[in-house]
Amino acid sequence: MATISSLGIGSGLDLSGLLDDLEDAEKQKLTPIVAQQQSYKTKLSAFGSLESSLTALRDAANKLSDPETFAAVTSSMTGDAVTATTTGDAVAGRYQVSVSSLAQAQSLASAGLGAEKTEALGKTGTLGISVGEGARIDIVIGSDDSLEDIRDSINKADTGATASIVFNGSEYQLTLTSEETGTQSAIEVSDGDGLFGFNETVSAQDAKLEVNGISITSQSNTVEGALEGVTFNLTSITEGAETLSVSKDTASMTKAVKAFVTAYNSFQSTSDSLTSYDSESESAGVLLGNSTMRSIESRLRGALGYSDGDGALSMLSDLGIERQLDGTLKVDDDKLNAAISTDSDAVSQFFAGVDGKGGMSASIDDTMGGILDDGGLLQIATDGIDSTLERLSDRYARTQESIDATVARYRTQFASLDSLVSQMNSTSDYLTQQFDALSAQTKQ
């Protein structure tokens, strides 16, 4: 049988068009599978949006679980000689701070050592260096060592003092400077070989200050522990006293509570979008009626109903936070500010519990664990969707293989038909020619 390179060439029939129509008809079997795949992918995306909003809510709630959130203080300092940073341990109040001396590091300088620093000094011996209570470290000096070699040897030895080279206008000198300030970091040099002849150029000095009339000595200009929860940074001697004011940082506390409310309302907005129904357009949210979605909403409503029977503030409404008919939370600013300003400890207990135990934030986190953690509601739901998508993918592949086989069979049958019709046309043409020839002979 002759091979037909293109369907319909031999027969003149539109077999290619017919085959395309049949193939399109076969591919309609894939349409419901694709529709189901898209539906489940849309649900998977919806659960991703839901997870993002729930994670943000959990983070905001965890911020409230930290007692430091409600122990935050703010501070201000008059003048420029002293700056202060505070932690939640700082006690609100006003403190007078004066500085009479700054801590400084001791420096020593050698006698002049000539006008060359790269040539050998021709000195031999041992230079011992100790800083404060540290052990003495010996630097062995050879006759071939230059001033730069000696400097580098000292700095590599980690003595606690830094060596430098200074040119005084006529010759070089070797200097040693303690790496730390204060009298407890004074340098002691053992130069039994009389190599350098060091003299003190800057004396070791402690910082001295007064806080509310109490004298304080510090080895460093960064003074910690003199006042609980406060670190002073001294930059210069004061003229008189500067004032440190410490107060509760109610603004940051309020911000943290409102961030939680905002995060919850964002979740509620996401939830409403995913479960909405528009009767006019008859369009429904992706997760309308979804059992996982209903369970999540129910669990969060329960978590918001947390009550602390032992605290001065027992429920959210005591802080001015009320649930609205649309499910969102609304803040009464005056009531919240009053609660934080008058009893921030009670606000802390409501959210963070006592000694890190209990509190509304812990209740929400437990609820979120059952939703977001491994094995939680969202994972169960998304794992089920993933499994369904895998099955649909396999079904799509099998259906496509069946379609390809069917179209291949049609193509073979059409090729045979095309060849057969072509042969019949050839036979018809031959017979016609023969009859025409015979008819012509008969007429002669």
What is the dihedral sign for C-alpha 285, 291, 296, 301?
positive
The first and second tokens of residue 59, run together, are: 């983070």
Query: Residue 13: what pLDDT?
Result: 65
| DSSP states of 234-303 | E-S--SS-EEEEEEE-HHHHHHHHHHHHHHHHHHHHHHHHHH-EETTTTEE-TTTT-HHHHHHHHHHHHH
CA–CA distance, 362 with 360 (Å, rounded to integer): 5
The first and second tokens of residue 10, run together, are: 């031999």
Q: Are 132 and 181 in contact (CB under 8 A)?
A: no
CA–CA distance, 306 with 176 (Å, rounded to integer): 65
pTM (2 decimals)?
0.67
Within 10 angstroms of residue 44's Cβ, the number of other Cβ atoms is 16
The first and second tokens of residue 74, run together, are: 């703010």
Backbone angles phi, psi at 65, to 5 degrees: -80, -10
Task: Grade residue 392 by pLDDT with cuts at 50, 70 and 90.
Answer: very high
How much is the mean pLDDT over the chain?
Answer: 89
- Rg over CA atoms, the chain: 44
The first and second tokens of residue 97, run together, are: 């701070």
Task: Grade residue 7 by pLDDT with cuts at 50, 70 and 90.
Answer: low
Return the percentage of the chain with pLDDT > 70, whole number: 93
pLDDT higher than 50, residue 2: no
Task: Grade residue 433 by pLDDT with cuts at 50, 70 and 90.
Answer: confident
CA–CA distance, 268 with 404 (Å, rounded to integer): 48
CA–CA distance, 363 with 75 (Å, rounded to integer): 33
Task: Grade residue 8 by pLDDT with cuts at 50, 70 and 90.
Answer: low
User: Judging by DSSP bridges, how do beta strands 82-86 and 277-278 pair with one another?
Assistant: unpaired
Find the mean pLDDT for residues 125-152. Answer: 95
Query: Residue 357: what pLDDT?
Result: 81
CA–CA distance, 393 with 299 (Å, rounded to integer): 34
pLDDT higher than 50, residue 1: no
Highest mean pLDDT among 20-34, 168-182, 191-205, 334-348: 168-182
Residue 204, classed as helix, strand or coil, is: coil
Residue 6, classed as helix, strand or coil, is: coil
- The residue that leads in pLDDT, 132 or 411, is 132
Query: Residue 278: what pLDDT?
Result: 83
Lowest mean pLDDT among 156-165, 250-259, 388-397, 406-415: 406-415
pLDDT higher than 50, residue 149: yes
Residue owning tokens 């085959």: 19
Backbone angles phi, psi at 49, to 5 degrees: -65, -40
